Amino acid sequence: MKQAYFKKVKFVGSFLEAPTRLELPQFVFCGRSNVGKSSLINAILNQKIAKVSKTPGKTTTINVFLVDEKFYLVDLPGYGFAKRSKSMVNAWQKPIENYLLNANMLRLIFLLIDTKISIMPSDEIFLNWLKYNNLSTVIVLTKIDKASQSHLAKTKKAIETLNIKYIKTSSTYHKGIDKLAQLIEQACDISFNLSLFS
Q: Does 39 bind Mg ion (CB under 5 A)?
A: no
104 within 8 A of 22, measured Cβ to Cβ? yes
- Identity of the residue, 6 or 110, whose beta carbon is nearer to ligand GDP in the bound complex: 110
Integer Cα distance of 124 and 78 in angstroms:
14
Q: What angle do CA 134, 15, 87 make, to 5 degrees?
A: 75
Q: Which of 26, 42, 59, 115 forms a contact with Mg ion (CB under 5 A)?
A: 59
With respect to ligand GDP, which residue has the nearer C-beta, 26 or 33?
33
Contact pick of 38, 42, 170, 171 for Mg ion (by CB under 5 A): 38
143 binds, among ligand GDP, Mg ion, none (CB under 5 to 8 A by kind): ligand GDP
Query: Please, what is the minimum distance in Å from the beta carbon of residue 192 to ligand GDP?
Result: 26
Total residues in contact with ligand GDP, by rule CB under 6 A: 19
| CB closer to Mg ion, 122 vs 186 | 122
CA distance 32 to 123: 7
Q: Torsions phi, psi of 44, nearest 5?
A: -65, -40
Binding mask 149-188 for ligand GDP (x = CB under 6 A): ---------------------xxx----------------
33 binds ligand GDP (CB under 6 A): yes
Q: Which strand (E) or helix (H) includes residue 66?
A: strand 62-67
The CA R_g of the chain, rounded to the nearest whole Å, is 16
CA 51 from centre of chain: 15
Largest Cα separation within the chain, whole Å, is 44
Residues of this chain that interact with Mg ion (CB under 5 A) are 37-38, 59
